[in-house]
Amino acid sequence: MSSVDVPGDSGAVPKAAVAAKPATAWISWVALAFMITSSVASLRSSPSMAVYGLAAIFLYVVPAIVFLLPTAMVSAELASGWSGGVYNWVSQGLSKPLGFLAVWCQFAMTIFYYPTLLAFVASTFAYVINPELAGSGLYTAIVIVVVYWAGVWVSSQGTKTVAGLSSAGLVIGTLIPGTVLILLGMVFLGQGNPSAAPMDAAHILPPWAGIASLVLIVNNFLSYSGMEMNAVHVSSLKNPARDFPRSMFLAVGLVLLIFILPALAISWVVPADSTSLTAGVMQAFDTMFAHFSVQWLTPVFGLMIIAASLGGMLTWLAGPSKGVLMISREEGWLPPSLQKLNKHGIQQNILVAQGVVTTVIALLYAFIPDVSSAYWILSVITTQIYLIVYLLMFVAAVRLRKTQPDHPRGFRAPALGLLCVVGFLASAAAMIIGFVPPSQFGSGNPLVYVLIVGGGLILVGLAVPYLLIKLSRPSWRDPERAAAEGE
C-alpha cells in the first residue's frame, strides 16, 4: 500500500538546502526497486488467490501488465516534473477540487483498509492463542477496535519509530515467512504428498462460471497500488530515463514472486473450499508445521506476520490524514476543529474522527456471520475508492502532456497516451467488476451486495468531499499555517 503524498508543495527549494545537499545523494536503481517492493508486496492477499491454485499466476500477471506497469510509468513522469504528489498532479492537470477528491480518496480508502488489515491481524493472532477464534466475528471486531485505537494513541504521541517498524516488517513479517512457506511447500510436494490444488496445464486459467468467477482479480489492483508514492524518488536517480525502467521491471519481478509463490504454496496444502481469506496464511503454516512436527513454530510465525501488519498500519495511520490536513489548511476544506494539532504536532482530531467511523465499520464483523464475507466486501469498497485516484491520475497525465508539453520532466514515459488508456480502462473495468458478487461467497442477495459496495463508494468516496467543499467557508483557510506546516 502507498503512503499519501504531501500536497501543497510548490517545489521551490531554498538555495541553502541545495548547497547543503551532498553531491553523492543518489540512490541506485536496485535500491529503488527494493523500496518499491517493500511498500507494495505482502502476504495478506495470498489466501484470496490461493483458492484458484495454479490460475493464481494468471490472475496476478494480468493486473501487473494492465495496471501495475501503466501506474508506475505514468506516476514516474508526473513525480519527476511536479512535486506535491497526486493532489498537485490532478490539480494542475484538471482542477483543484478534483485534486482534493484524489487525495481525499487516498485518505478515505484507509477507513475501510484498516478493518481489513486488522481482521487479518485478528485471525493471525487467533492462531497464537486459540485457532477457533479465527472465524468469530465478535472476536474480530474487538481486536479491530482495540488495536486501532491503540495505534491512534501511539501515532498521536509523535513516535519516530514507525518508519523503522515498517521497514523491518518487510524482512521479519514478509520475506522470511514467505520464503519458509515456499520452501516447506516444495519439500511437502517433494515427499510425494499430493497437492490440494491441481497443478496441471488444464488449470492454468481460472474456471469460467460467469463474470463472478473472476471477481477476486479486483483485489489484486489494490495489492499493486502504491507506485504513485514510490515514483517521487525518480529525481534521486542519476539517469532517470535509463534507471527507472530497470527499477520498475526488477520490482515487478520481485513483487510477482512474493505474491505468486506463497499463494501457490498455500494452495498445495490447504484445500480451496476450506481456505479462509483472513486466516489462510496461518492455515498453511499450521498445516505444514504439523506435517513436519514443528507445530510450535506456528505462533512464532504468527507474531512475525502480526508485527509486519502493525508496522504498516502505524505508517499509514498518520500519513493520509496529514495530506488531507495540509490541503484543508490551504484551501479551507475542513472545519477548524479538524485542522488543530496536538502538542506533538499530530492531527489527532482527524484520527479520532476517522476512528469513530472505523469502529462502526468494525462492528460489521460482529453482525455478519461469515468473517470472510465481511473481509471481502470491505476489501472491495477499499479498492473502489482508491481506483478513483488512478482514474483521475491517468486523465491528468494526458492533459499535462497536452497543456504543458515543455514543462521540465526528469523522466518521460514511453507511449504515455497508450499507457494512460490501458491503465484507465483497466481501472474502470476493475471498478465495474467490483459490483459483481463473487461466486465464492454463497447465494446471498446480489442487490444487497451492490448496495453496500456502491453505498460505501458514493458516500465515503464522493459525497463527503463534495459536501466538504460546498460547505467550506473562507475563514477556514489558513495558507500561512499550511505553508509553515509544509516546511
Domain assignment present for residue 22? The answer is no
What is the per-residue pLDDT across 398-426, written as a single tens digit (0 to 9) for each?
A: 999 999 999 988 888 889 999 999 999 98
383 close to 218: Cβ distance less than 8 angstroms:
yes
Question: What cell numbers appear for 70 in the block?
Answer: 501503466
Average pLDDT, the chain: 78
Return the closest-CA partner of residue 440 out of 138, 61, 52, 60.
52
Exposure pattern of 126-138 as b/e (b: 16+ CB <10 Å)?
bbbeebebbbbbe
Confidence class of residue 77 from pLDDT cuts 50, 70 and 90? confident
Range of the domain at 304: 48-472
Does residue 449 lie within any of the structural domains?
Answer: yes
Residue appearing with cell numbers 480508502:
109
Number of folded domains that form the chain: 1
391 found inside a domain: yes
Cell of 195: 497437492
**Phi, psi (degrees; rounded to nearest 5) at 139:** -60, -45
pLDDT for residue 395: 97
CB-based contacts of 146, cutoff 8 Å, min separation 6: none
Which domain CATH number covers 305?
1.20.1740.10
Asked, for residue 27, whether it belongs to a domain, the answer is: no
Determine the residue type at 29: W
* Chain segment 346-404, per-residue pLDDT in tens: 777 888 888 888 888 777 777 766 666 666 777 788 888 889 999 999 999 999 999 99
Q: Whole-angstrom Cα distance, residue 438 to residue 379?
A: 12
Nine-digit cell string for 277: 481469506
In a domain, 483, yes or no: no
In a domain, 482, yes or no: no
d(CA 388, CA 258): 26
Better-scored residue on pLDDT, 4 or 319:
319
On whether residue 3 sits in a domain, the answer given is no
The pLDDT of residue 442:
54
- Interatomic CA distance for residues 104 and 101, integer angstroms: 5
Q: Are 280 and 46 in contact (CB under 8 A)?
A: yes
The confidence band for 17, taking pLDDT boundaries of 50, 70 and 90, is very low
Residue 361 lies in a domain: yes
